[in-house]
């Protein structure tokens, strides 16, 4: 792997926030910019199609998990 040429960066101040990001934060920053992920998200958010199939597709393709709420113990 080659090291990026830092001399062409516009401003290192633009990247200072990366120093305090968790691995999850950093992964999200890159994932949300991925056109394929965006298309999958839009498909799942549209309400069209089988929600279970869409959820399973996203789980397999992107390694994401969607925790469910615990059942309401009072009902």
C-alpha to C-alpha distance for 36 and 62, rounded to whole angstroms: 10
**Stronger pLDDT, 58 or 70, i.e. the higher one:** 58
Q: What is the pLDDT of residue 69?
A: 57
pLDDT band at 35 (very low <50, low <70, confident <90, very high): very high
Neighbours of 28 (CB within 10 A): 12
Q: 5 — phi, psi (to 5°)? A: -80, 100
First to last CA, the chain: 56
Judged against a pLDDT cut of 50, whether residue 56 lies above it is answered with yes
């Amino acid at each position: 792997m080659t090291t990026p040429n830092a001399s062409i960066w516009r401003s290192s101040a633009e990247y200072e926030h990366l120093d305090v990001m968790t691995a999850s934060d950093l992964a999200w920053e890159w994932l949300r910019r991925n056109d394929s992920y965006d298309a999958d998200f839009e498909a799942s958010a549209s309400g069209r199609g089988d929600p279970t199939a869409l959820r399973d597709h996203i789980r397999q393709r992107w390694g994401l998990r969607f925790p469910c709420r615990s059942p309401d113990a009072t009902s």
